[in-house]
Each structure stands twice: as C-alpha cells, then as structure tokens.
Amino acid sequence: MTPPISDLLARPGAGVIVPLVTPVTSDGRLDEPAAERLVAHVAGAGCGLLVLGTTGEVASLSGGLRRRYIDLAVRVAARRVPVFACVAHNSLEESAALAREHLRQGADAIVGMLPNYFELTADDMRAYFRRLAEHTPGPFFLYNMPATTRMSLPLEVIAELSRLPNVVGMKDSESTPGRLDQVAQRFGGRPGFALYMGVAAQAVAAFRRGFHGVVPSSGNLRPDLWRALHDAVLAGDWTRAERLQHRTDAISTVLQRDRSLGRSLAALKAALSARGLCGPEMMPPLVPLPAAAAAAVSDELSRLE
C-alpha cells in the first residue's frame, strides 16, 4: 500500500529536493567517498535528494552504478531527508525493475521519465506511464523534461495519470512561456498530488502559485541557500525569498551561460571539484570542462560569495 503523500511531504527537506550530480572516477566507476561527501553536504543542509536524475547523467549510468548510488544515498541520508530515485530508461522492463529495487533499497519515492528514442503521442505517453506506475509498488512522481525527451507531457495526460493510486506528484522542468500558470491552475494545491518545479529560476513564482517544492541543480553547491529560500516561503517572507532567488539565479547564470545542458553539468562538477566535494569527471559521452574554463567558473562563483 502506498503511504499517504502527506506523510512524505511532511518530512524535513521535502520542500527542496536537490538533483545530485553523480561523482565518478576517471574509469567510470562511482566515486563513493565523493558521493558520501556530496550526500552529507546536501542532507546536512536539510534538503532532500533526487538521485539518478538529469543532473546525475542518468542516461549514461549502468544498472550496477545506479544501485550502488541509491544504497549509498539511503545509508548516508539516514532518514534525515527524503531520497527520490529516478528510473529513466528507454526500456520499460528495466525502469520497472529499477523502481522495485530502489524502493527495496530504501528510496522514499520513484521518479519516472518518458523514454526518448521515439516521438510519442499523448496516448503513448499515457500508456507508458500507466504501465510503469502500475509496476511500481510505492509513491510515483511523473517527470516532465522536454530538454532531454523533446516532448511535453500534456495536461490532460497528467490529469488522467494523477488518478492512479500511487501517482502522487510531478516534477515539471518545462520552461515554455505559460506552462507554469497552466500547471498551477490545473493542479496547484490539489490534495494528494504534489507539484515540484524543476526550473530553478521559477522557484519563487512556483511557490506563490501553490507548488510544494523545487528541484534545483545549484543546490549541489549551495543547499543552504535553497533551504533558506524555502524557509522564507514557509514564513511568508516573500521579500527575502526573492532576494535569495536572485542569489541562486546568479549561480546558475555562471554555470549555464552560453552552454548546452551537458556542458552546464560539466561546469557544475568543475565548481564542486574546486570546493573538494567531487571530481570533475563526466560519464561518456560528456567530458569535463577544459582546465582554463573550469578555473574561470570557480573564480566567478567565488566573487559571488
């Protein structure tokens, strides 16, 4: 039986779920000491964890590495904050198997993403998510990520899927103009269905419109700022929340300026490396930033402190 979503959302850290990078060695193994440091850094600041998401280069990770990272994250988080596990995969069977295993490992919720090889119709999307959710024996979040899937999950499909007993929310990472308002009007504040904003620059706007939480990649670097922003929202201090939004936006600008998604993730790892949290290594097909570019990112971020 799926636990009530209210229980999960009441957990400390559930308002900010940081999508963790995946620290790896130069030969493509999980860098476990670095992963432990990163999980402790984020959970210690009171933020929840999304393991194996887009920021974690999930499409490039083997099943074995995924399982090891979930084991490590659950162990180090030690129930202080929620652990969400993404099961993005082009094989439904593999995604479903990973969902079952990650829940057995102790993940609090599963996050499912559309496969991204074929262009899908709304009927295809509905059928895929329905089957994946039905094979997931625990809380299930939809994940709308057009930047990687090249598809947008329609509101009508979301509405139908939200009626499944274990579909408890959605992470929406679509920045199309008007999307935030459309999602908020349709689903904001709805009991039993939590909305998470995946576009960090829209965090405060999303909270104002009834979203429950935010999933910010810059939280790998500064989870303290994101926890403070959420605390300000809970206190109704929107002036402070907006001020913190500007600070986190400045960090994201340094990481993303004139870069593709993959290169911005390399910039994030370069910044984390400069702070001793993990190395700069990326999983193929991505590669680390050149040394000069990495140094420039670190220097610019230091000036923001």
CA dist 269 and 245 (Å) reads: 21
248 part of a folded domain:
no
Q: For residue 47, give the CATH number of its domain.
A: 3.20.20.70
Quick one: pLDDT band at residue 2, thresholds 50, 70, 90?
low
Quick one: pLDDT band at residue 10, thresholds 50, 70, 90?
confident
CA dist 59 and 14 (Å) reads: 25
305 part of a folded domain:
no
Q: For residue range 176-233, list pLDDT tens digits in order.
A: 999 999 999 999 888 899 999 999 999 999 999 999 999 999 999 999 999 999 999 9
Tell me the three-class secondary structure of the chain, residue by residue.
CCCCHHHHHCCCCCCEEEECCCCECCCCCECHHHHHHHHHHHHHCCCEEEECCCCCCHHHCCHHHHHHHHHHHHHHHCCCCCEEEECCCCCHHHHHHHHHHHHHHCCCEEEEECCCCCCCCHHHHHHHHHHHHHCCCCCEEEEECHHHHCCCCCHHHHHHHCCCCCEEEEEECCCCCCHHHHHHHHHCCCCCCEEEECCHHHHHHHHHCCCCEECCHHHHCCHHHHHHHHHHHHCCCHHHHHHHHHHHHHHHHHHHCCCCHHHHHHHHHHHHHHCCCCCCCCCCCCCCCCHHHHHHHHHHHHHHC
215 part of a folded domain:
yes
**Total domains, the chain:** 1
148 part of a folded domain:
yes
249 part of a folded domain:
no
Q: Given this model, what pLDDT does residue 6 score?
A: 79
Domain that includes residue 71, residue range: 5-239
- Give the closest residue to 42 by CA, choosing from 81, 95, 91: 81
Q: What is the gyration radius of the CA atoms in the chain, in angstroms?
A: 18
Does residue 1 surpass a pLDDT of 70? no
Q: For residue range 77-132, list pLDDT tens digits in order.
A: 999 999 999 999 999 999 999 999 999 999 999 999 999 999 999 999 999 999 99
Active site residues: 143, 171
19 part of a folded domain:
yes
Q: Given this model, what pLDDT does residue 3 score?
A: 62
Q: And the tokens for 269? A: 């790892």
Q: For residue range 31-88, list pLDDT tens digits in order.
A: 999 999 999 999 999 999 999 999 999 999 999 999 999 999 999 999 999 999 999 9
Work out the average pLDDT over 233-262. 98
